[in-house]
Amino acid sequence: MANEAIEPNTKRARESDADYDYDCGDGDGDDDADADSDSEMKGREDRLSDMPDCILIHIMTFLTTKDVVGTAILSRRWKDLWKHVPSLVLRTSDFKFRRMTRFNEAVSKFLLLRDGSVPLVNVDVSHFARMPPDIQTSVSEYAVMHKVEQLRLRAECLTHLSPCVFTSQTLTSLHLSSLGFVFLPKTLSMGALTSLHLKNFAFCGADNESLDPFSSCVKLKTLVIDNCGIGKSKIFCISNATLVSLTIHSDDRAFGEELVLSTPSLRSFSFSGVIARQLSARKNLSFLEEVTIDFGTCVDFVDCTRDETERTVCLQSAFIIIDWLQVFANIRSLTICSGTLKL
């Protein structure tokens, strides 16, 4: 982390009023218009300044971190308020392309200068390209150390997340999105987690091993698995007594050959993919009400591929779908896309 303060924007701040600033814009204001505006404001009641700090800090939780830190230039009272805001919301789109290094500096400075005694409840960081490894590690470690409850990280490749994320006992919502496959532990032990969204991740499964990564998430209710794999394993078990909603999208055969559900509380299930997998249920799905099946991309793949082996595998999905319908025999609502019917 850099320890020196970022040079403030001289058009918008005085050096003594802020620890550092973000690149807030290029606009050159009209001096006369600003003077008129100041004159009008003098006659008005400043209700915002009359609010207690706790209310102002709560209001700032609805802003991006760039805007939150920007409030430090307003007055001496506002100078340190941002340090107590329990959220970090930052995206590379908040910065000009020619100053992308500002994003890394902003994250590092935020973690360095904020009040460490304040829990960091919400973290939402998005990098449109490859997030630097040190930023991934420092953000994930700092968040868990400061009792994060909602963690959302999106980047080109999230290969340097701290392992402590997957054993956190304060996380209630976790959303990880990567463009390239990133391997996760075989088991996720997050006792407070209620919502989990994974995109482009894979679990470290050995040959012919049966993976069951979510059984220790004893409060999990919503699970979204988007284009994830299970390594060399063939069977992917989803065992969870509290799971209510399950959504799976798979574009790759690395998802395994069989999906096993042990989810007695499940009410909603949605699956879309290129190739159907064998499906079985170890527990009674008596609460299951809504099911959506979409193998439309499988039909498109059959139409465009010249590989006879791949065509055969896809066409076998038709028989697998019949087995799926037997598993879901007692549901109330079934949605099937036209491509699935064609298959």
Residue pLDDT, tens place only, 34-79: 445 454 555 566 677 788 999 999 999 999 998 999 999 988 889 9
283: Cβ contacts below 8 Å, ≥ 6 apart: 261, 262, 263, 264
Does a structural domain hold residue 162? Answer: no
- pLDDT of amino acid 17: 38
Does a structural domain hold residue 273? Answer: yes
Does a structural domain hold residue 139? Answer: no
With 90 as the cut, is the pLDDT of residue 27 above it?
no
Based on the fold, state whether residues 47 and 193 are members of the same structural domain: no
User: How many structural domains are present in the chain?
Assistant: 2
Domain limits for position 315? 172-343
Based on the fold, state whether residues 239 and 324 are members of the same structural domain: yes
Does a structural domain hold residue 156? Answer: no
> What is the sign of the dihedral through the CA atoms of 330, 332, 338 and 339?
negative
Q: How far is CA 262 from the centre of its chain?
A: 25
- Indicate the residue among 96, 130, 164 that finishes a domain: 130
Based on the fold, state whether residues 93 and 178 are members of the same structural domain: no
Based on the fold, state whether residues 68 and 188 are members of the same structural domain: no
Does a structural domain hold residue 304? Answer: yes
Does a structural domain hold residue 12? Answer: no
Give the helix/strand (H/E) hosting 152: strand 150-155
Q: How far is CA 79 from CA 1, 51, 104, 113, in A?
A: 22, 16, 22, 12
Based on the fold, state whether residues 54 and 201 are members of the same structural domain: no
Rounded CA-CA distance 157/181 in Å is 8
pLDDT tens by residue, 197-233 = 999 888 876 666 788 999 999 999 999 999 888 877 7
Q: How far is CA 319 from the centre of its chain?
A: 35
Based on the fold, state whether residues 245 and 340 are members of the same structural domain: yes
Which of 56-70, 101-115, 174-188 tops mean pLDDT?
A: 56-70
292 within 8 A of 270, measured Cβ to Cβ = yes
